[in-house]
Structure 1
Amino acid sequence: MKNITCLSKQGSWLYLGSYQDAYSRKAVSWDVREMMPEDLVNKALCRADSPRECGQWG
């Protein structure tokens, strides 16, 4: 499952993109940014797939 959450931080926003295992409901990977680019959730998926190399997103 994927998710984007907006977090308030001292008058500005942080955007948290995450992937969660549907069975265990544990976070598999995540990425936080100050702006919400199109690839926010893709970057989180990339980290889950290969923590050291993020291919086209990275």
Structure 2
Amino acid sequence: QRLRLQRAALLLASRADPVKLLAEQCGFKNEYHFSTAFKRQHGLAPSHYRNLHHPAFKTGQG
């Protein structure tokens, strides 16, 4: 599961696909299970992780 979550983090930071699709691509049975596991591993919900790490989603703070 740790490897699937690492892959998910890379995909969230590099793709704009819906979280549900990325969860399926990483082998999670549903978006809720994925989101819970991701938050436990990374300390952030997938959408918040994407907002911080994906260039197209970053907010112009600074």
TM over 0.5: no
TM superposition score category, shorter chain reference: under 0.3
Q: Which has the higher contact order (CA 8 A, sep 6+)?
A: 2
**TM-score, normalised relative to structure 1:** 0.25
Computing the radius of gyration from Cα coordinates, the structure with the larger value is 1
Instruction: Answer 1 or 2: which has greater helix percent.
Output: 2
Instruction: Answer 1 or 2: which has greater strand percent.
Output: 1
**TM-score, normalised relative to structure 2:** 0.24
